[in-house]
Structure formats: C-alpha cells, structure tokens
Amino acid sequence: MAEPEFSARGVRIERWPRSLTKAGQVLIQDGRLALLTSYGRVIDSAPLRAVRAAKPWFAGRGSTVATVNGRRYRLTMSEKGRLSDAATLAGRFMETVSRARHT
C-alpha cells in the first residue's frame, strides 16, 4: 500500500447540525479521500476528483469545509491544541485536494 498523501488525526468532523466525531481522521491515499471515526470506521469516502474543499468565511482558523458525495462536512484540524499547526494542516489538506482536482 502506498504512503498517504495527507493524513491528520484528532480532526473534529461535523455534518450540520451535529458533530460526528471529535477525534476523527482525514486520510488521502491512492487518489481517495476517507473520513474516519476515532475507531477507524469510515464516515464517508470518495475519489479526490469528486471532492471539493473550501475555506468559507464562517470556518475558523484551522477549519475547512469539504464536500464529499454531495454532503458537506466541516473539518477542524487540531494538532495537539496548537492553532498555528491546525491552520497549516487545513492549508495542506486544501492544497492536496486542489492539486488532485486539477490533474
């Protein structure tokens, strides 16, 4: 199995109006995005070409909104509680998704 292109743990994954997990995982590997619970159960998964990621005005620092299979998820990255690292992770996530959509 190939090395993941992007992986973040401790991600709060919300689907309005409720939180699905406070310590989930976002994994981009082999051209697919997977949103996982803290136990490794798949919440949603899709090919990267079908995923959109954006940073709307209401998303806080370290947060992004991803549309996967027509469903919107708010992803709040937290790297050991440090906000600057969370913002960097969110930026890397959006960059990875954008790169895959444009290739």
What predicted TM-score, i.e. pTM, was given to this entire model? 0.88
**Contact, 53 vs 64, CB < 8 A?**
yes
User: Average model confidence (pLDDT) for the chain?
Assistant: 88
Q: Which domain holds residue 16?
A: 6-101
Quick check: is 1 in a domain? Answer: no
What pLDDT, on the 0 to 100 scale, is given for residue 83?
52
Identify the CATH number of the domain in which residue 23 sits. Answer: 2.30.29.30
Q: In what order do the strands lie in the sheet with 71-76?
A: 42-47, 32-36, 18-29, 6-15, 71-76, 63-68, 52-54
Residue 75 lies in a domain: yes
Report H helices in 1-103.
Answer: 83-101
Q: What are phi and psi of 61, to 5 degrees?
A: -65, 130
Q: Average of pLDDT values for 6-21?
A: 92
Q: For residue range 41-85, what is the model confidence (pLDDT) as tens digits?
A: 999 999 999 999 998 888 778 899 999 999 999 999 875 555 557
**Strands of 1-103, DSSP E:** 6-15, 18-29, 32-36, 42-47, 52-54, 63-68, 71-76
